[in-house]
Every structure is written in C-alpha cells, then in structure tokens.
Structure 1
Amino acid sequence: EEVLSFGVEWPYPDCKTYIISSNKVEIRTENTYLVHENLETKVNEWIHENGKDIWVVGGGVLISSMLNQGLIDEMLLTITPVILGEGIPLFPNSPKETNFELIKTEAFKTGFVNLTYRKV
C-alpha cells in the first residue's frame, strides 16, 4: 500500500514478492503472494528454499516482530535529512535488546545516509 501510494507502478513485477500483512492487500502480479501465517516459520522456509539471504522492506512493527524472533542478522537504515517533530517510532512494541555493529556507511549528495549494521 505504501509503495503504491507513491503513484508508481509496482516496482518488483519480475521478482517473487511476499507481502506480510494482516490487512486485505491487492495482489499486483502473479509473482506476489500474501502471507498471514507464522512469520518465523515462513522466513526459515524462504531461506531454505532459496539457499541465501532474503531482503525485507518493512515498517517498524514488522521489523520489531522479526527482531523479537531473531530473524534479522543485518539492517540497512537510511537517515533522511528531515525533522518531522512527531512520527511513528522506528522500532515500536518494545523489541528485545539486540546488539549490532556498524559495518558500512554511505553518504549521498542529497543528504541521505545509509548505515549498514550486522548483528553481533
């Protein structure tokens, strides 16, 4: 829903895409699947099926849930040079404490900064 609200076509038409949501979501391509089941089981299936890491784009609620289940081993955080004043917490719902180390930084002319962290 968030991606589509930008007024663009679905950006992943040729990629196998799983949408993890408790809401009804319109499926955009035949490579898009809606997931409602146990997240930990599903993530482990994907990793086993692909034999490699998976890339997750999501909001704080999803990421907090994945942190609590020990499913995140690397994170890319993008800092945007805009101060909102108020907003949604980055990691809501009190995720468990998890230690990460900074492994890469990348700054852009726009002022955006990517920070890549790996779980210790």
Structure 2
Amino acid sequence: MRKLILYIATSLDGYIARPDGRVDWLEAIPNPDLLDYGYDDLLAGIDTTLMGNSTYQVVLGMEGEFPYADKINYVFSRSARPDAPYVQFVAEDPVAFVRSLKQTDGQGIWLIGGGQINTILLNAGLIDELIVSVAPIVLGAGIPLFGDGAAETPLTLVSSRAFDTGFIQMIYQPA
C-alpha cells in the first residue's frame, strides 16, 4: 500500500497560509545556507501529489513553471472541471478517491494541502506520516493546518530536528 505523507510548514500559531492563501512569509525567514528541510528527499520518494483547489491556485501563482510537472497531480474541486496541464481534477469524494489511490502501484503520495483536505483525510485515518515544519513566526490569522471538525488524533513522534533558521521539523505517525 502506498504511503500518504503530509509535508507542510506552519507558523508557530498553526497557520499554513495567510487568510488570502499567500505563503510569502515562508520566504521572508532568512535561510542563508539554503536548507531544503528534506524537500528534495520527499520529492525523490513520491510520484503523486494531492492538493485542494485553493492550494492549486497558490501554486499556479508562484514564479516559474508548474513545480511538479514530473509527478501525477490531483486537485480536489467541488465541481467537475476539464484537466489542465500536469493536473487532473477530482470532483469525487476525497476519502474514496484516496483509499483507492493508496491501493495502486507507485511511490509515496504527497498531500500538499490545504487545511480542508488535510482535515478530511486526517479524520478518515488516511494520513500515514506528518512532516510538519514550524516556522519562527506568528501570523495571528490565516488558514489553519487542520480546519474545524478535525478529529482528536493521537500521534507518535518519530523524530524532531531544530534548524539554525529557527524552524523545528517534527515527523509523526498515527499512534
């Protein structure tokens, strides 16, 4: 069975984006050594990404070409849409879709976010690993890592690491 990995950064107060979806605050944190926080290793171990439509719109707004063109990319949308370059839109139930996807052959699956899809898949018990990097910033408002209705979910800490940039990265698995 394929592993579903939530790899994501949050502010110290638990937000993955500003209220308007922007993640500019991540680039504002000095990173003089250009640390990748395990990003390259993650990309080497996955062949599929999952994201909500709002997250997809943020990715499209980033400079350069679509960053995951070499992966299979699914975007959850509440309405059927024609596929776009590098992306297949999914209007069906995310839980049923991911359960089926995890049974197929392939590498790991990266759950990019956002908060709504994170919550749905957490509540369904489909997330196998959470790699959460906490940034040294308080945003005060924004899109939370998990939305309202997130189920209480005990986790086991696999490892943690502090970086000179002030980020703390924790890897969890469901208990």
Q: Give the shorter-chain TM-score range.
A: 0.7 to 0.9
Query: Does 2:87 align with 1:61?
Result: no
Query: 2: CA distance between counterparts of 1:107 and 1:27?
Result: 38
Match of 1:88 among 134, 143, 146: 143
Query: 2: CA distance between counterparts of 1:47 and 1:57?
Result: 16
Q: Specify every segment of 5 or more residues in structure 2 that has no aligned partner in the other structure, as ranges.
A: 1-56
Match of 2:64 among 1, 8, 11: 8
| Equivalent AA in structure 2 for residue 101 of structure 1 | T
Q: Specify every segment of 5 or more residues in structure 1 that has no aligned partner in the other structure, as ranges.
A: none
Change in CA separation of 1:60 and 1:107 when aligned onto 2, cut-off 3 Å = same
Runs of 4+, deviation exceeding 6 Å: none
Query: 2: CA distance between counterparts of 1:25 and 1:8?
Result: 23
TM-score (norm 2): 0.60
* SS of alignment partner, residue 49 of structure 1: coil
Which residue in the other structure is 1:43 paired with?
98
84-93 vs 13-22, greater mean Cα deviation: 84-93
Query: 2: CA distance between counterparts of 1:14 and 1:76?
Result: 22
CA positional deviation for 1:76: 1.1
* SS of alignment partner, residue 56 of structure 1: strand
Identity of aligned residues (%): 35
Query: Does 2:76 align with 1:20?
Result: yes
Change in CA separation of 1:25 and 1:95 when aligned onto 2, cut-off 3 Å = farther
Query: 1: CA distance between counterparts of 2:172 and 2:82?
Result: 31
Structure number with the higher strand fraction is 2
TM-score (norm 1): 0.84
Query: Does 2:154 align with 1:99?
Result: yes
Which residue in the other structure is 2:131 paired with?
76
Quote the RMSD (CA, aligned, Å). Answer: 2.0
- Structure of greater relative contact order (alpha carbons < 8 Å, 6+ residues apart): 2
In the TM superposition, what whole-angstrom CA distance separates every residue of 1:60-98 from its partner, at most 9, and x where no partner exists?
111111112121121111111111122222211221111
Query: 2: CA distance between counterparts of 1:106 and 1:36?
Result: 37
| Equivalent AA in structure 2 for residue 28 of structure 1 | P
CA positional deviation for 1:25: 8.2
Query: 2: CA distance between counterparts of 1:80 and 1:2?
Result: 19
CA positional deviation for 1:52: 5.3
